[in-house]
Amino acid sequence: MELKIRPRRLRYGENLRKMVRETRVDPSSLIYPIFVREGSGIVEEIPAMPGQYRYSVDTMGRKLESLLKAGVGSVMFFGIPDKKDEKGSGAYDENGIVQQALRRAKAEFPDLYLITDVCMCEYTSHGHCGVLCGHEVDNDETLKLLAQTALSHVEAGADMVAPSDMMDGRVAAIRETLDAHGHINTPIMSYAVKYASAFYGPFREAAGSAPSFGDRKSYQMDYHNSREGVKEALLDVEEGADIIMVKPAMSYLDMVARIKNEVHVPVASYSVSGEYAMIKAGAQLGYIDEEKIICETAVSAFRAGCDIYLTYFAEEIAGYMKEGKIG
Ligand code: PBG
């Protein structure tokens, strides 16, 4: 058979395959989400996320240290407060759980890059991502509290803030407040393209943040929509977002690819709790090969175009990169 073009030619041998690889990955692109809670001496496994823990501020250092050793230099903090109230005051309390964690992490691990999730849902008694007016989340009232939360995080040591609430105008509100207090160089990573997703189930269990009534569909996006995601991303860039995130990752890689073409800022994708839980469950049942699935899932996000990947498997993935299993 006379075939001039044989795509298989470039697939013989590991050296050649690596040479022609289109997607290169590096641990510096990884962010590890970590849960911190009140109390001391606590390392508590999250039931629907085997291998993931809620740490108290005095125990989280173990995980931070092993992340750094593995080459993961960035973490995103999620706080689990002891007390919740209508206005989510724990979110912007200067002695709130995330603020405590930030001060400690900054002092003990000055090389670690500290990012915070800015949202109200872990702190409100009703579990919604903002303050309520009747049964609805009051967008504009919530903006003030989000800006206050972001500022208190930065003042406690956050290097970057990441609003995940999906209120309209939050990036502008946060930027204005940070700038007014002199934090002009603190970047905002916006969860701009965030869908109302059942993939957040295990996280809500971990953080006790499921809404006590209704759902999040009046602020998070309908997963039937794609163009609307572009609108959200462009708006946030205009408001001053430095990085745009797509969330979840796995079922939304079309959006990662699309957003990458629409904006000229780095794009992040967040492989969320439900994605983690599915891989763990499938592997525990012996249905899939955990390591190979983790590698393939991570590379697919980068191949789709993300520059930054948030994942509970960050430490494992950094290890696979070092071992040359992906690269
Ligand atoms: C807070 C927030 C959520 C997640 C990140 N930030 C939960 C939600 O929106 O209900 C989900 C992360 C995950 O599932 O791993 N709003």
Q: What is the pLDDT of residues 136-173, one digit of tens each?
A: 999 999 999 999 999 999 999 999 999 999 999 999 99
CB 105 less than 6 A from any atom of ligand 1: no
- Pick the closest to residue 205 from 271, 272, 157, 297 (CA basis): 272
Answer yes or no: are the C-beta atoms of 191 and 162 closer than 8 Å. yes
> What pLDDT, on a 0 to 100 scale, did the predictor assign at position 114?
98
Strand partners, 43: 55
Residue recorded with tokens 């200067």: 94
> What phi, psi does 325 have (nearest 5°)?
-75, -30
Residue of minimum CA distance from atom 2 in ligand 1: 164
d(CA 38, CA 41): 10
Partners of 24 in the β-ladder:
none
CA of 119 to the centre of ligand 1 (A): 9
- Beta carbon of 123 within 6 Å of any ligand 1 atom: no
What pLDDT score does 1 carry? 87
Does ligand 1 lie within 6 Å of residue 204's CB atom? yes
Burial 129-155 (b: 16+ CB within 10 A, else e): bbbbeeeebebeebbebbbbbbbbbbe
**Cis before 248? omega within 30:** yes
Find out whether 195 and 221 touch, Cβ atoms under 8 Å. yes
In this predicted structure, what is the pLDDT of residue 310? 98
The protein residue whose alpha carbon is closest to atom 6 in ligand 1 is 164
- Using a 6 Å cutoff on CB, does residue 121 contact ligand 1? yes
The per-residue pLDDT for 225 is 98
CA distances from 127 to 39, 88, 98, 211, 308 (A): 21, 9, 17, 4, 28
Grouping H, G, I as helix, E, B as strand and the rest as coil, residue 62 is helix
User: Of all protein residues, whose CA lies closest to atom 11 belonging to ligand 1?
Assistant: 200
Q: Atom 14 of ligand 1 has which residue's CA nearest to it?
A: 200
Cβ neighbors of 47 (< 8 A, separation 6 or more) are 205
Please work out, in degrees rounded to the nearest 5, the angle formed at the alpha carbon of residue 27 by the alpha carbons of 24 and 30.
105
**Catalytic machinery residues:** 194, 247
C-alpha distances (whole Å) from 247 to each of 46, 101, 163, 210, 252 are: 21, 25, 12, 17, 7
Determine whether the shortest distance from the Cβ of 129 to ligand 1 is under 6 A: yes
Regions in the chain scoring below 70 on pLDDT: none
| pLDDT recorded at residue 229 | 98
pLDDT, position 156 = 98
- Residue 57's H or E segment, with its range, is none
